[in-house]
Amino acid sequence: MNNGKKVLLIEDEFFISDLYKHILSDAGIRVEVAEDGEQALQKSKADNIGLILLDIMLPGLNGIEVLKKLKEDPLYRTIPVVLLTNLVQSSVVKLAYNLGASGYLLKVSLKPEDLVRCVQDYFKNPNLKMRYETLDLD
């Protein structure tokens, strides 16, 4: 059903990454976890990455820089990137959208079933864009 697609979860907080890994695995979705920007760029080279969930506050390269590098590379440009973070200024989201991000999720108010649905939606339609105007911004 997922055509072997995987989610790349870029998240440095182990409690969070393990939680999401668990939730997604329970729903039958395969998950790769990267703990920092460097690892993220390395692991996005893997085959079958259908969606990248990207935290913004990361050690080393921050999320915006990772996003920029991903979107600069023709190999990964087509992989949809959804920001998954707890700290989002409207200006940061705007910047991320300009750089090619497809959506944004606020971790603290995200229900597990919504996360699963979001991943499945992007697996089905990688060109999906969340409407920027209706996002819950800080």
Partner 1 sequence: MFLPSFLRRKGPNNGLEEKSNQQDLLPPLVEFAYKLGQEKIGVKINTLGSKPSSQSSREALPQYIKHVYDLLAISLGPQVARELFESQLTLFKKTYGVNQKYFELLKELPIPVMGAERLAVLNRAELENELKLRIKELEEIKANLEKTVLERTKTITAERNKLSLILSGITDAVIALDLNRSVVTFNRGAERLIGISQQDALGKPISNLIKFFSKDREMFTQEYTPFRGDGFEGETLNLEGLKIKSFNGKEVFVNLRVGQIREGPFVNLGCILTLHDVTQEKKLEEMKLDFVSMAAHELRTPLTALKGYIYVFSKNLINVLNEQQKTYLLRMNIASQRLIALVENLLNVSRIERGSLTLHLEEVDWVGNVKATVSELLDEVREKNQELAIIEPTKPLPKVKVDKFRMNEVLSNLLSNAISYTPTGGKIKVWFDCSPDEVITYVEDNGQGIPKEALPHLFTKFFRVSGVLEQGSKGTGLGLYIAKSIVDLHKGKIRATSEGLGKGSTFSFSIPIKEQVVSQIKSIPDGKIYIGRI
Instruction: Tell me the window of 18-26, 27-35, 40-48, 70-78 that interacts with partner 1 (CB under 8 A).
Output: 18-26
And the tokens for 92?
């940061």
Q: What is the per-residue burial (b if ≥16 Cβ within 10 Å, else e) of 66-94?
A: bbbbbbeeeebeebbbbbbbbebeeebbe
Q: For partner 1, which is the closer residue by CB, 20 or 122?
A: 20
- Residue owning tokens 């989610």: 7
Under a CB-based contact definition with an 8 Å cutoff, are residues 31 and 20 in contact?
Answer: yes
Q: Does 25 bind partner 1 (CB under 8 A)?
A: no
Q: Which of 2, 62, 116, 126 binds partner 1 (CB under 8 A)?
A: 62
Q: For partner 1, which is the closer residue by CB, 42 or 90?
A: 90
Q: For partner 1, which is the closer residue by CB, 52 or 84?
A: 84
Q: Does 109 bind partner 1 (CB under 8 A)?
A: yes
